[in-house]
Structure 1
Amino acid sequence: MTNDQQTITEDQWHKAALIWSFHQMHHPVGPVDAAIGLGSHDLGVAAYSAELYRAGLFPTLVFTGANSPTTAKVFPRGEAVHFREHAIELGVPADAILLEPHAANTGQNITLSREVLAAAGIHPATVLLVSKPYMERRSYATARKLWPDVDIICASEPLEFDDYLKSIGDDKLVLDMLVGDLQRVIEYPALGFAVEQEVPKDVHAAYESLIRDGFTSRLIA
C-alpha cells in the first residue's frame, strides 16, 4: 500500500481497515424529512447526497461547512458552497438546497443546519446525515447529543476501504483522519460534545498502534 507521501504496511492497512469499519454505522437508509451533507475535503459527500435526493429519499438538502486547513485550497469559497454547486451539476434543483456556510466543526454543522432548516420553516422528525465514510460514527454521536429529539440516520458513499484510499490519493492523510476521528469518538463525550459509545478492544488497540506509528497529524491536543 503506497502513495507519494508514505508507504503503508500491510499491518497498518489491516488496522486502519478495522477502524474504517467501526466508523461506519451501517444504518438502513430510507425516506427522511431532510438531509444534511457535512462539509469536508471529500466531494463524494455531495455526489452521494445528490444520488439519494434523486432517489426520492428527502425533499430538502442542507450543505454545511466553511473551511478547514485541509479544504481551504481545494474549496476556496467554502465547503458548503462547492458541495451545493456540485450537487446542482448532478441534477439537484437549486431550490431544494439550503446553504449553511459558517460551520467550523461538526457540532456547528449540526446546530447551524438545524437553525437554517428552522428558518425555512422545516422542523424535521427524521434527518439523514451524509458524511465521509469514516465520519459516520462521530457525526451520529454529535447529533444525538445536540439534537436528541430527532431520529438520526447516517450514510456515506458506499466504497470499500481500498477504493476510498484510491479516490483520495493520499493514504497517509486518510489514516491520519481515521485515527483523528476515533480520538474524537473516544474523548468528546467527556467534553460534552457527543454521546458515549463503546469502542471494541481490537479497534482501540489498532488505534493506539497507528498512533505509535506516527499517524497523528489530525489528533487534538
Structure 2
Amino acid sequence: MISAQAWADAQRLWDFQQMGHELHPCSVAIGLGSHDLGVADTTAALYHRGMMPLIVFTGATSRTTRDRMPRGEAEHYRERAMELGVPADAILVEPRARNTGENIRFSRALLEERRVSVSSVLLISKPYEERRAYATARKLWPEVEWLSASTPMSLTEYVDSIGDARLVIDMLVGAQQRLMVYPQQGFMIEECIPYDVTAAYERLRDGGFTSRLVPDAAERG
C-alpha cells in the first residue's frame, strides 16, 4: 500500500517537474527517447500545431526498451509520428544516445552536420522529467532558447498509463535526485529547489522509493 503522505509527496515532485512554459514556434523539436511512446504522440501533435518545421527523435535502447523497441527508441518514435501524419522529411533520427546528456549533444551534432540553423528548441520529454531535461539542455547548449513540454496529464493518469504506481514514484524520486546532485557534477544547471520539494523527496527516499536513484551520489543536506 502507498500511504496518503507518499501520494501527496509524489504529487509535489510531479508538480515541480512541470515547467509550465508558454509554447511558441521553435526552430526544431527534440523528442527524448524512452519507453513512453506518448513523447512521439505529443511531438506529432505539436508539429501539426505548427510549433516546429523539423523534429529530431533521439535514443538508442535501454534495458527497459530493448524488447519493446528493438529498432531503437528514436526509430520507433519516428514510425509512430509518421503514423500520426508527420512527413518523413520532417524527421531526423539520432540513434546512439543512451542518456539525456547524449540526447542533447548528439542531436546538436546531427543538426550542425545537416546545417540546420537553430535559435530555439522545443524539448519534449516524459511528464516527470521536464525540469531535469531542461536543466541538462541549458547546461550543454546554452546558446539557444529552450522550451520544455510533455504530454499534458495528471499524475493519476500517468500512473494508470504505466500500471505501476510504485515504479512511477521511484522514477519521480530518481528525477528529483538528479536535479539535486548532477549540477555538482557538471551535468546540468543549478535549479532552485523549494524546501517542501526537498522534504517530499527525502520522505519518499527514506520510505524506500529508491530503485531509480543514482548509487553513491553525494547529496547536500
Which bin holds the TM-score, normalised by the shorter protein?
over 0.9
State the AA in 2 paired with 1:65. G
Which secondary structure does the structure 1 equivalent of 2:115 belong to?
Answer: coil
Instruction: State yes or no: 1:57 paired with 2:51.
Output: yes
Tell me the CA shift for residue 9 of structure 1. Answer: 2.1
Aligned length: 215
Instruction: State yes or no: 1:15 paired with 2:9.
Output: yes
Which secondary structure does the structure 2 equivalent of 1:25 belong to?
Answer: coil
TM-score (ref. length: structure 1): 0.95
CA distance in 2, matches of 1:125, 1:74: 34
State the AA in 1 paired with 2:179. V
Which secondary structure does the structure 2 equivalent of 1:195 belong to?
Answer: coil
Instruction: State yes or no: 1:86 paired with 2:80.
Output: yes
Q: Which residue does 1:161 correspond to in 2?
A: 155
State the AA in 2 paired with 1:193. F
Which secondary structure does the structure 2 equivalent of 1:209 belong to?
Answer: helix
* Deviation per residue, 1:10-49 (Å, 9 max, x gap): 2211100000000111100110000000011111000000
Q: Which residue does 1:103 correspond to in 2?
A: 97
Instruction: State yes or no: 1:199 paired with 2:184.
Output: no
State the AA in 1 paired with 2:85. G
CA distance in 2, matches of 1:26, 1:110: 21
CA distance in 2, matches of 1:148, 1:79: 26
| Residue 174 (structure 1) aligned to one of 163, 168, 173 | 168
Tell me the CA shift for residue 8 of structure 1. Answer: 2.1
CA distance in 2, matches of 1:218, 1:72: 18
CA RMSD of aligned residues (A): 0.8
* Deviation per residue, 1:160-213 (Å, 9 max, x gap): 111111111111111111000111110000000000011111111110111111
Q: Which residue does 1:122 correspond to in 2?
A: 116
Structure 2 residue runs of 5 or longer lacking an equivalent are 216-221
State the AA in 1 paired with 2:46. L
CA distance in 2, matches of 1:60, 1:19: 31
Q: Which residue does 1:32 correspond to in 2?
A: 26
Q: Which runs of 4+ in 1 moved over 2 A?
A: none
Which secondary structure does the structure 2 equivalent of 1:40 belong to?
Answer: coil
Tell me the CA shift for residue 71 of structure 1. Answer: 1.6
Which secondary structure does the structure 2 equivalent of 1:42 belong to?
Answer: coil
Instruction: State yes or no: 1:215 paired with 2:209.
Output: yes
Which secondary structure does the structure 2 equivalent of 1:166 belong to?
Answer: helix
State the AA in 1 paired with 2:158. Y
Which secondary structure does the structure 1 equivalent of 2:81 belong to?
Answer: helix
| Residue 141 (structure 1) aligned to one of 120, 135, 144 | 135
Identity rate, percent: 56
